[in-house]
Chains A and B, each alone.
Chain A
Amino acid sequence: MKERHMSFRFYQNKISINKKLRHINYVFIFLIMTVCSVGFMTLYSVENGNIDPLVSNQILRFFVGFIMMLIIATIDINFWIRWAYVIYGITILLLITVEITGSVNMGAQRWINLKFIQLQPSEIMKIALVLALARYFHWLNCYNVKRSLYLIPPLTMIIAPVILVFNQPDFGTAIVLTMTGGVIFFLVGVQIWKFITIIAFGLAAIPIIWNLMHKYQRQRIITFLDSESDITGSGYHIMQSKIAFGSGHIFGKGFLLGTQNHLNFLPEKQTDFIFTTFAEEWGIIGSTVLLLLYTMIIFYSYKMSLQACSQFARLIGLGLITSFFLYVFINIAMVTGLIPVVGIPLPLISYGGTSMITTLFAFGLILSVYIHRNVYISNNI
């Protein structure tokens, strides 16, 4: 039934700009704006009730990002498949540049200073990798997917940036890249036993990776394993974060009333640990509502992606939303003490330009996938 429907599907390669705007999923836009507003509100509280500088900066970035998102949503999807490898290649070059000349920031090389904006190639790579993999698997038919030889190029595409990002060192992003790549492999139908094999190899490689790790990264893992043992030392962040959560209870301490937040007990409270600030002031009600908003964003992304007729579009949508999901999960699991502190922001909420811009960029692509759901993409570009 479905197959029949699919075979008679009407491909529409030229869509007017009006029609494109009409096909924007406005519920999705509304969800994004709501979550961002929660972010502005929390930043307002972090700044003890001041708009400047955090909230105003963040709102400015949001508007820039939002307009960019709408522009990207309307760009023909064929553009992205055509330029996917180029974007990927440039991003790899940027990563290498960072590796060689990148300025030292926070003890890690992550930024390229372009005077007007500090560029973080690893953030771009999350999108570039999804684009490149989507293009590859769009080209690869489902029989060849089963053949291991054809999996070597995409594996290389994943491993190369992962090593570069890991070297920066940015543990969190490396994990997100690896897992996003893995999810795309999973979606295109790579056999389960291959995953099991790779995971088994990965586990076997843990001792080697351990030795390659920076001392502070090892310390973070050690701290995680026994976070409450030294509350003034390295476990301080996690402990203070848990205290903020726990003292929030059902309804929280109230907007602008979080003591952990306002008395500066919380670490990195406007960036990585912002969820803690929010949870302290809004309690379990607030944190659950925020998580539900994230869930709905993810749900709508799935819904939009799976309606696309091309493999490339589907993979972009699902790959990018997976990366988004991983960010949300890792960040919240980190601040609640479930996993080690890896330094990953909470998308749409944490203060920071690159994160906001790249997330909205990704959402622009997801919207584009939906708008161009009926656009045919050739296998031979």
Chain B
Amino acid sequence: MIRDNNRIKIIGRRALILGSGKLVILSVLIGRIYYLQILETDKYTMLAEANRINLHLLQPIRGKILDRNGTPMAINQQNYRLMILSKQVSNLSNILDNLANIISISDHDRIRIIHENKRQRGNTPIIVHENLSWEDIARIEINTPNIPGVIIDVSQTRNYPIERFGVHPLGYISAASVTDLLDSSDPLLKLPGFRIGKTGIERVYDLALRGKAGIKQVEINANGRIIRELRHDESKPGIDLNLTIDINLQQFVGQRLGNESAAVVVIDVNSGEILVMVSTPSFDPNIIIRGINYEEWNDLISNPRAPLTNKAIAGQYPPGSTFKLITALAALESGIIDKDKMIFCSGQMSLNNNIYHCWKKNGHGSLNLIDGIKNSCDVYFYEISRCIGFEKIAKMAKCFGLGTQTGIDLLEERAGIIPNREWKLSNLGKSWNQGETLISAIGQSYVLTTPLQLAVMTARIANDGYAVRPHLTRDIVDGVNTIPRPVPNWSNLGISKQSLAIVRRGMFAVVNDPGGTAYKSRIKDNEMIMSGKSGSSQVRRITLHERSIGIKKNKDLPWKDRDHALFVAYAPEIQPRFACCITIEHGGSGSTNAAPIARDILIEVQKRYLHQNINSTKTIQRNPNSHDSVMEDFIKKSSNDQNEIENFDIRERE
């Protein structure tokens, strides 16, 4: 019995120890449950929700883009897409085999689909085929039982009805790139087939055009099957934009330019509205929407005439003789010359043992400023630039919008270059020499401008010195809203009216005075009279040797070595309304090749808008022009002699 009592003692003690141990262990369990259910609850609650709830984004409809008259430039079309819900497909390659019997699936697509399927985890469907035809849809519908997990879905795709004529200012949309995805937190970008603006207006106002995604919240089970819909917020479509572009003019200009590699800008000199912005050659943005193939893309990017570039804002060319307007204004404003300043041109001028040639080998003889502009005499401008120095000319150029971005609502715009001492020292590390003053004064050497800048410059000369700025949208786009554009109130550039009138008189003479470089391209309708300035900018140096054996004609040179043909113009002469700049890459002479295009375009523009009091011609506050009566005399006079020198052919060369 004692023995048994001993056993009882041991087992009692040890049972106590054991029981206590069990209590400790159970407390540990409670502690663990406390940790999970109280301390970590936020994390796990969120994960449970993430398990349970799937968000489906509802793609908003992209805003339309219309021209100034409401004609559509970018619209949306219904696109039937074939998609695979990867979660409902067990054997993808089987399904693809079955599909391949119904519609064509390229090997490339096949690899892409399999790759996307591996990569993705959510339940975003994979696009197999876009833009299905009715026939395809019918065939797929019939075969539905053989292809489980395959659905047809309707989405919107972009369409550009004017095809290649609007692409440069308009731009196009395309799938978001990796950098786009990094830059933006908008979940829309991850939607299959979602596209964002890549260039032009589509890019600048992408957020406004894009709209806001709707959200569909659904409850799903562990297999990804939808149990019920919890929330449905409709998407908010993007806003429609009205541009200042006139689609018909745009098309007219595009056709008029033909095969040239060129850029044309037409601007309202008072409001800054861009009526035309054409860059040729062009391309049809619809092929990018449809899915451009490698060869097509390669053709576009390897084309030396750069169809993808908007030359009107991103093409930088030496302005050539069109720059003489700036030199003239700088000289007039500095007071060292007046319009009667006579300079003798012998065909060349020497400075520091260098000889600087006029484009006219035998010289122009003695001329005043207006004749200097009219004949585009190089020596005249060498001489006045030598007197005032290039710093003042550069300042004047900047004042007229050259060498800086104009601020147009396009991101591809480039600034061009207006050189000066400081610029040369910091960019080239060399000091300025006087010879550069001479050739810069005639728009050569380092001077680079864009066609848009030249159009703005011309507009500012034409509107009597107001700092008009170009824009492409009728209303101001502020974030995702539009605000009606206020009546423009441009600041005055501070250039004397007289100087501007003299330069305009010179531009008038270029086109309308017999012997003017563009006399052949004058507009004979008194209401629409055009004034302008030609320019042919040299892209290569003429060697002494070449000069001695005779300078080759442009048409004898390879395309890449020919001069750029430029022409800036405004019209009508009295109360100018429109300014334009024509730039033809390697187009030869500005007066013979660019001026006729300017004439045709300005006739077309004025026909449409001169007598139409549309909102584009809100006139800005300006003083009554004292010189208008003077100009009217000129016009009468010149239209009298216009028949006498009809066939005056002239080719200028700087």
On A, residues with C-beta under 8 Å from B are 3, 6-7, 141-143, 183, 186-189, 240, 242-250, 259-260, 263-265, 279, 283-284, 287-288, 291, 294-295, 298-299, 302, 305-306, 311, 314-315, 318, 322, 325, 329, 332-333, 336-338
Report how far A229 CA is from B3 CA in the complex, Å.
Answer: 57
A187 to B48, CA, bound (A): 45
Is B18 at the interface (CB under 8 A from chain A)? yes
Q: Which A residues are CB-close (under 8 A) to B18?
A: 183, 186-187, 318, 322
A288 to chain B: which residues have CB within 8 Å? 30, 33
Q: List 5 A-B contacts (CB under 8 A).
A: A142-B7, A246-B48, A259-B48, A284-B34, A291-B29
- Whether the Cβ atoms of A250 and B38 lie closer than 8 Å is yes
Within 8 A of A (CB), among B392-431: none
Shortest CB-to-CB span from B24 to chain A, Å, is 11
Instruction: Choose among B34, B45, B223 the residue that contacts A247 (Cβ–Cβ < 8 A).
Output: B45
* B32-58 contacts to A (CB < 8 Å): 32-34, 36-38, 40-41, 43-45, 47-49, 51-52
* Closest 3 pairs (CB-CB, A-B): A246-B44, A247-B48, A189-B10
Say yes or no: A247 contacts B3, CB within 8 Å.
Answer: no
A141-B30 Cα distance, complex, nearest whole Å: 39
Contact at A245–B33, with CB atoms within 8 Å? yes
Q: Is the CB of B36 within 8 A of A242?
A: yes
In the complex, which residues 1-45 of chain B have their Cβ closer than 8 Å to any Cβ of chain A? 1-8, 10-12, 14-15, 18-19, 22-23, 25-26, 28-30, 32-34, 36-38, 40-41, 43-45
Chain A residue, CB-CB nearest to B1:
A7
**Residue ID in chain A nearest B223 by CB atoms:** A264
Q: Is B551 an interface residue (CB 8 A)?
A: no
Inter-chain contacts of A325 with B (CB < 8 A): 22
Q: Is the CB of B37 within 8 A of A250?
A: yes
Nearest A residue (CB) for B42: A246
Contact A284 B33 (CB under 8 A): yes
B221 close to A (CB within 8 Å): yes
> For the complex, is B333 an interface residue (Cβ under 8 Å from A)?
no
Please tell me if the beta carbons of A279 and B37 are within 8 angstroms of each other in the complex: yes
Which residues 569-619 of B have a CB within 8 angstroms of A?
Answer: none
| Complex-state Cα separation, A236 to B483, whole angstroms | 54
Please measure, in the bound complex, the distance between the C-alpha atom of A284 and the C-alpha atom of B223, giving whole angstroms. Answer: 28
Distance between B435 CB and nearest chain A CB, rounded to angstroms: 73
Closest residue of chain A to B44, judged by CB?
A: A246
Contact check, A329 vs B29: say whether CB atoms are below 8 A apart.
yes
Complex contacts, A333 vs chain B, CB 8 Å: 29, 32
* Residues in A neighbouring B22, C-beta threshold 8 A: 298, 325
Q: How far apart sit A244 and B37, CA to CA, in the bound complex (Å)? A: 9
Among residues of B, the one whose C-beta sits closest to the C-beta of A264 is B222
Asked if B10 contacts A188 (CB within 8 A), the reply is yes
In the assembled complex, which residues on chain A have CB atoms less than 8 Å from the CB atom of B221? 263-265
Closest chain A residue to B39 by CB distance? A246
Given contacts A247-B44, A263-B221, A336-B29, list 16 more A-B pairs with CB under 8 A.
A6-B8, A141-B3, A142-B10, A186-B14, A187-B10, A242-B36, A244-B48, A246-B44, A248-B37, A248-B41, A249-B38, A291-B33, A298-B22, A315-B11, A318-B15, A337-B36
Q: In the bound complex, do residue B32 and residue A338 qualify as a contact, i.e. CB atoms below 8 Å apart?
A: yes
Give chain B nearest CB distance to A159 CB in angstroms.
22
Contact A263 B220, beta carbon cutoff 8 Å: yes
B315-332 vs A: 1/0 string, CB under 8 Å? 000000000000000000
CA distance A305 to B16 in the complex (A): 12
- Pairwise interchain contact B38-A311, C-beta atoms closer than 8 A: no
Q: Does B227 have its Cβ within 8 Å of any Cβ on chain A?
A: yes
Do B29 and A243 have beta carbons less than 8 Å apart?
no
Q: Given A245-B33, A246-B40, A295 and B26 touching (CB < 8 A)? A: yes
Per the bound structure, the CA–CA distance linking A63 and B292 in Å amounts to 73
Q: Determine whether B338 belongs to the interface, using a CB cutoff of 8 Å to chain A.
A: no
Check if B284 is an interface residue, CB within 8 A of chain A. no
The CA-CA distance from A288 to B36 in the complex, in Å, is: 13
**B contact set with A: CB distance below 8 Å:** 1-8, 10-12, 14-15, 18-19, 22-23, 25-26, 28-30, 32-34, 36-38, 40-41, 43-45, 47-49, 51-52, 219-223, 227
Chain B residue numbers with a CB within 8 Å of A314 are 11
Contact B29 A302, beta carbon cutoff 8 Å? no
The chain A residue with its CB closest to the CB of B51 is: A265
Minimum distance in angstroms from B55 CB to a CB of chain A: 16
Number of A-B contacts (CB under 8 A): 138
In the complex, are the beta carbons of A243 and B44 less than 8 A apart?
Answer: yes
Main secondary structure of the interface of B (DSSP, over half): helix
**Closest chain B residue to A260 by CB distance?**
B48
Kindly provide the distance from the CB of A328 to the nearest chain B CB, expressed in whole angstroms: 8
A343-B44 Cα distance, complex, nearest whole Å: 24
Chain A residues within 8 Å of B41, by CB: 246-249
Q: Chain B contacts of A248 at CB under 8 A?
A: 37, 41
B36 near A246 with CB under 8 A, answer yes
Closest CB of chain B to A373's CB: distance in Å?
13
> Which one of A187, A188, A291, A325 has the highest number of Cβ atoms from chain B below 10 Å of its Cβ?
A187
Check B52–A259 contact: CB distance below 8 A.
yes
CA A332 to CA B34, docked complex, whole Å: 13
A246 to B405, CA, bound (A): 58
In angstroms, Cα B35 to Cα A337, docked, is: 11
Nearest-neighbour CB distance to chain A for B455, whole angstroms, equals 60
Give CA–CA (A338, B28) in the complex, Å. Answer: 10
Residues of B close to A240: CB separation below 8 A = 51
B35 to chain A, nearest CB (A): 8
Minimum distance in angstroms from A269 CB to a CB of chain B? 11
Chain A residues within 8 Å of B5, by CB: 3, 6-7
By the criterion CB–CB under 8 Å, are A260 and B32 in contact?
no
Give Cα distance in the complex from A146 to B10, angstroms.
12
A245–B41 alpha-carbon span in the complex (Å)? 8
List the A side residues contacting B8 at CB < 8 Å: 6
For A260, what are the chain B residues with a Cβ–Cβ distance below 8 Å?
48, 51-52
Give CA–CA (A250, B5) in the complex, Å: 48
Q: How far is the CB of A241 from chain B (nearest CB, A)?
A: 9
Query: Among B2, B10, B33, B47, which residue has its beta carbon within 8 angstroms of that of A287?
Result: B33
Establish whether residues A188 and B220, one from each chain, have CB atoms under 8 Å apart when the complex forms: no
Contacts of B6 in A (CB 8 A): 142
Tell me the bound Cα distance from A7 to B1 in angstroms: 7
Q: Give CA–CA (A306, B9) in the complex, Å.
A: 11
Given the interface contacts A6-B8, A142-B6, A295-B23, does A306 sit within 8 Å of B15 by beta carbon? yes
Contact A291 B48 (CB under 8 A): no
Q: How far is the CB of A237 from chain B (nearest CB, A)?
A: 12
- Cβ-closest chain A residue relative to B45: A247
Q: Closest CB of chain B to A7's CB: distance in Å?
A: 6
Q: Residues of A contacting B11 with CB < 8 Å? A: 187-189, 306, 311, 314-315, 318
A263 touches B3 (CB 8 A): no
Say which residue of B3, B4, B37, B220 sits within 8 Å of A284 (CB atoms): B37
Tell me, in angstroms, the Cα distance from A158 to B4 when the chains sit together.
25
Chain A: which residue is nearest B22 at the CB level?
Answer: A325
Give the distance in Å from the alpha carbon of A226 to the alpha carbon of B448 in the complex.
Answer: 64
The residues of B that contact A298 with a CB separation of less than 8 Å are 19, 22
Contact of A279 with B3 at beta-carbon distance under 8 Å, contacts A186-B14, A259-B48, A260-B48 already known? no
In the complex formed, the residue of A with least CB distance to B12 is: A306
Given contacts A6-B5, A246-B36, A263-B227, contact A187 B14 (CB under 8 A): yes
What is the CB-to-nearest-CB distance from A327 to chain B, in angstroms, rounded to a whole number?
Answer: 12
> In the complex, what residues of A have CB within 8 A of residue B23's CB?
295
Closest-by-CB residue of B relative to A299 is B19
What's the Cα separation between A187 and B37 when bound, in Å?
Answer: 36
B43 and chain A: residue at smallest CB distance: A246
Query: Min CB distance, B512 to chain A, in Å?
Result: 80
Residue of B nearest to A259 (CB): B52
Roughly how many angstroms separate A189 CA and B12 CA in the complex, as a whole number? Answer: 10
**Which A residues lie within 8 Å of B223 (CB)?**
264
Contact A263 B37 (CB under 8 A): no
Q: Are B51 and A259 in contact (CB under 8 A)?
A: yes
Which chain A residue has the least Cβ–Cβ distance from B29? A332
Closest to A253 in B: B48
Which residues of B lie under 8 Å from residue A7 when comparing CB positions? Answer: 1, 5
Query: Are A329 and B25 touching (Cβ within 8 A)?
Result: yes
Given A242-B36, A247-B44, A336-B32, answer yes or no on A329-B26 (Cβ-Cβ < 8 Å).
yes
